[in-house]
Structure 1
Amino acid sequence: MSNVQKKPLPFIYNFTAGAIAGISEILTFYPLDVVKTRMQLETGKSKYGLVGSFRAIIAEEGFGRLYRGLVPPLMMEAPKRATKFAANDFWGKIFLKMTGQAKMDQSISILTGCSAGATESFVVVPFELVKIKLQDKASRFAGPWDCVKQIIAKDGILGLYSGMEATFWRHLWWNGGYFGSIFQVKALLPPAESPQAQLMNNFISGTVGGCVGTMLNTPFDVVKSRIQGSEHLPGVTPKYNWTYPALLTIFREEGPAALYKGFVPKVLRLAPGGGVLLLVVEFTLGIFRKALGPPYI
């Protein structure tokens, strides 16, 4: 057996695999994201649980409302997921070189994931903002472009970056938990002896990673939804502005459980969604390696 290490794929292939994986995940799980946002925007005690929220949206607004705001996430998912996996690859190489280590360990995986999440956050903010505005039950916008035009007219181009700081923390914590958990779970799973077993290992580790990432970042997601869903009135200081003070405000006024509003639909989406992401990424990268041949195989 050859001991020659296979060559890393060029950036464009990691970028493309991430884009394909992201679109696959969002088309599968998007209605759960709508329900999650509705639950997070609701202040005080929640009226509905997961099933009740689904029923209320369908009964009051129609089934199509579960796909309200789908266009911005679809436009976002390709660059978002592509940036996630490409940045994870980039930062992984940087940190390995900085530490002088030849292989990833748990701490480098977490550091790499956090850095990839921070990088990703700068790409997604405008898309996330428009998505939240459209998913809100009180939304008055005709569609994505109407939303963008009204935000720019009112707040200027920088208005599209409302919630940037909260988005930064949300993505940093999710990616740190996601990629750090993937490394640990893969180390615990038995070695794959077939391509099918390798795909299953990727799905299991990605699902666990998605669950851990969701547990870590849900409070930051709640704050981000509140910041991006609120109206900014001239001369009025927003109730939710900076992330950590907002966490304390919600904790004090609504209790600790409020920081996990929308957790159930979020974890139902991002746990298996994390598995789907890693499964599709690794499967797609495998196809690319076979097409390119040695030394990538």
Structure 2
Amino acid sequence: MHVNRQHSGPAAVTQVRVRNLRLSVGATYVLLMALAVLFVGPFVWLLLAALKTRDEWAAVPTRILPQHAQWGNFVHALTDINFPAYAANSFFLSTIYAVLITASSATVGFGFARLRGRGKGGLFLVLLSTMMLPQILTLLPTYVLFSRVGLVNTYWPWVLWGLAASPYLVFLFRQFFAAIPRELEDAAIIDGCGWARIFLRIFLPLSRPVLLTSFLLSFTWTWGDYIAPALLLDVDHTTLSVAITAWYRDPHGNAIPTVQAAAAALYVLPALLIFLFAQRYFIRSVVASGVKG
């Protein structure tokens, strides 16, 4: 009996560990499913709202499913306003801003990661501290500044913001560049490469996941922004986010929420598709940015 206990002891412990591991994995999947439902829920609600009539929208208690799907709401969303023109404005503005801020943030991040200089650490802390400053606090002073130099109702504010880099994206690039082995840099210096060539020929090609993530984040920031376009742009130059909230009206001037919901669903679709196709690069860059501090 004593021998049997010795042999059954480790096996019993192993079974307990396997059972606990399965329970842990099961609980993780349940949690992930709950979070997926939580995040997908608003988009599903938006789609259902876009398929309702105005009476079903205003009904109390609210009906979850429409009685008859109103696909015509999507047709009105595309035709009641100049939807393609406003979408083109949003796409142009988001692309210009994303390209510029990705390039400037990568350059600044490379400097903080690889170049040596007195006070670099303190300056980097100052840069990171600006992330705690809400953007809404600087928006009105920025508007006053742009209005005095004649940049209101133009896209130049987004160009200047893009050239100024983003603290978060600078941190992302800095962490990624700091994890690259120094031997590559030393070998390039021995071959006669300058810092600009090292940055363009070695570090940028290696940072494709971070470049894509930076472009993705900055594009969606601008695509989803409402306050800055509403404050700085006129009717002809404004973006789709402002147009959706302002110009879907009935003859009495009342908002048409079902058509607005249909337009919002179409408005969200490009950003959603971009995330679906680029999520693996996004995850890779986030993991790589935490390798080295």
* Higher CA-based Rg: 2
Structure 1 and Structure 2 fold alike (TM over 0.5) = no
Q: Provide the TM-score with structure 2 as the length reference.
A: 0.28
- Identify the structure with bigger relative contact order (alpha carbons < 8 Å, sequence gap 6+): 2
